[in-house]
Structure 1
Amino acid sequence: MQLTHFTDLGLRVLIYLTYPDRDEPVTISEIAEQFAVSRNHLVKVVHFLAQQNWIVTTRGKGGGMVLAQAAHTYRLGQIIRQLEGHTELIDCSKPACSLKGNCQLKAILDKAQQAFYDALDIYTLKDAIASPTHEAIIQLHQLHLHSSAQKRPH
């Protein structure tokens, strides 16, 4: 099983937003630059995260995004379920399978997928940013702040 690129980016955005010591909101352009990803694709991801009320976004000068809640309230299994769109591991109807109704494979895979999400629900976003991830996030933010300060006219 492999998570989609959409899910990967969604998790990266949420992790990046856990850094609490920011005076201004984080922008899509900043995250795109920090993770070397497409800004256009990131716009779709951020829009979805905002629709789920996981982040709060503001438009215009000084706008950006922040986490809507504390990191410990986000369950990883729930986040990944939503980002993945509740996909099944196999679809016995496309193409139609001759064994449909007489095969245990789908039930076994569905059970395994549920166990996967149940295992992830034990963990929160706060768990995902434990050391050394937390320190790496700090470094990314400091790198951005340093880079932004150099770009400003003196």
Structure 2
Amino acid sequence: MQLTHFTDLGLRVLMYLSHPHDDAPVTISEIATRFAVSRNHLVKVVHFMAQQGWLITTRGKGGGLALAYAVGDYRLGTIIRQLEGITALIDCAEPPCSLRSGCQLKYILDEALSGFFTVLDRYTLADTVRAPTGDAIAILHRLGSSALPRT
């Protein structure tokens, strides 16, 4: 199983915002530059996460992004379920599968998916930003706004 680029960016945003940033608000442009990703795609990700209530967004001059909760309150399983929109790995009903009545594949895949999320639910955003990751995020923040192109 491979997570989508959307989920990857969502997790990166949350991790980046987990670092204290008292000097200036964190912007989408800043994050896009730091991770060398499309600003337009990042806008969609941030919008989705703000709709989920995970981010506080402030528009306009001096605006930016911030986490809505403490880093320990973000469960990875919950975040990834929402970002991926995963309910099942396969859909036996559409298109209708002729093996559906006697097939064990869906049961096995559902059990595996449940186990995957059970493990992820044991971890929080705080776990993802422990050293050395947190140190790398701090370095990204220290690059300073002077290194960012004006957009």
Cα displacement string for residues 78-100 of structure 1 (whole angstroms, at most 9, x for unaligned residues): 00000011242112233332101
Aligned position for 1:136: 136
The residue identity in structure 2 corresponding to 1:103 is C
Three-state SS of the structure 2 residue aligned to 1:80 is helix
The residue identity in structure 2 corresponding to 1:58 is T
TM, length-normalised to structure 2: 0.94
Unaligned runs of 5+ in 1: none
Three-state SS of the structure 2 residue aligned to 1:6 is helix
Indicate conservation of the 8 Å contact 2:19/2:137, yes or no.
yes
Q: How many residues align?
A: 150
Mapped to 2, the partners of 1:65 and 1:84 lie a distance apart of 22
Deviation at 1:146, TM superposition (A): 5.0
Three-state SS of the structure 2 residue aligned to 1:7 is helix
Aligned position for 1:106: 106
Deviation at 1:125, TM superposition (A): 0.1
Aligned position for 2:147: 147
Residues 45-60 of structure 1: pairs in structure 2 closer than 5 A: 45-60=45-60
The residue identity in structure 2 corresponding to 1:96 is P
Three-state SS of the structure 2 residue aligned to 1:56 is strand
Q: Do residues 83 (structure 1) and 87 (structure 2) align?
A: no
Cα displacement string for residues 83-125 of structure 1 (whole angstroms, at most 9, x for unaligned residues): 0112421122333321012101101100110110010000000
Residues 59-78 of structure 1: pairs in structure 2 closer than 5 A: 59-78=59-78
Mapped to 1, the partners of 2:64 and 2:26 lie a distance apart of 5
Three-state SS of the structure 2 residue aligned to 1:65 is strand
Identity score, percent:
65
Relative to structure 1, the CA distance from residue 126 to residue 76 in structure 2 (aligned partners, 3 Å threshold; closer, same or farther) is: same
Mapped to 2, the partners of 1:108 and 1:41 lie a distance apart of 34
Unaligned runs of 5+ in 2: none
The residue identity in structure 1 corresponding to 2:70 is A
Deviation at 1:145, TM superposition (A): 3.7
TM, length-normalised to structure 1: 0.92
Aligned position for 1:8: 8
What is the root-mean-square deviation of aligned Cα atoms in Å? 1.5
Indicate conservation of the 8 Å contact 1:30/1:144, yes or no.
no
Runs of 4+ in 1 over 4 A off after TM superposition: none
